[in-house]
Structure 1
Amino acid sequence: MDCHFYILFSKTRNRFYIGATCDDLDERVRRHNSLHKKGFTGKLNDWKVVYSEDFKTKEEAFARERAVKKWKSRKKIIALINSET
């Protein structure tokens, strides 16, 4: 099973969204960009993947999501994204 930890960015909102999924990542992003979806990402459709990591298990991917969310630091998130470029 391929699972993903990912960070999305909305230029309109100038915000990041942190998530994890074991679904196809492109399909998951498409659902985030669906204007019919409620919640944090549902009101906009300009979310783009700016960072992702692949994991073998759901537990690993969701643990990574929880760890990064605990940072509560935009600077650390940007540093993580920039570490890949």
Structure 2
Amino acid sequence: MAFYAYLLRCRDGAYYAGHTDDLEARFAQHQSGVFEGYTSNRRPVTLVWCEMFASRDEAFAAERKIKGWSRAKKEALIAGDWQRVSMLARNRQVVGKT
């Protein structure tokens, strides 16, 4: 079974990170507002990034990591700009040490 970490862009421009074992169904749930929560008042949403993982734990770990990222780093991930993702990670580490 495959598991996914994903990133949605909400109507207000905010990003939402999540994980699931059924990406199509989970996206439909976000889009319809079936569950009260962060995205229900920010519809419509757009799936802007996803990655498949072998286990739920790996997908959940990716979700938690992405939730802690800056907007710029999320946008670099969406663009597939791994050099910028890496640079933003290094910059944050340096800033955190001062």
Query: Which category of TM-score, normalised to the shorter sequence, fits these structures?
Result: 0.7 to 0.9
What SS is found at the alignment partner of 1:17? strand
Name which one, 1 or 2, has greater alpha-carbon Rg: 2
TM value normalised by structure 1:
0.86
Root-mean-square deviation (CA, aligned residues, Å) is 1.4
Query: What's the TM-score once normalised by structure 2's chain length?
Result: 0.76
CA-to-aligned-CA distance 1:30-73 (integer Å, 9 cap, x gap): 101123421101124311110000001000000111111122x0
Q: Tell which has more relative contact order, 1 or 2 (C-alpha 8 A, sep 6+).
A: 1
Unaligned runs of 5+ in 2: 82-98
Question: By percentage of residues, which structure has more strand?
Answer: 1
C-alpha contact (below 8 Å) 1:35/1:44 kept by paired residues: no
User: What percentage of residue pairs aligned between the two structures are identical?
Assistant: 37
Matched pairs, number: 81
Identify the structure with the greater helix proportion: 2
Shift in CA distance, 60/40, structure 1 to aligned 2, threshold 3 Å: same
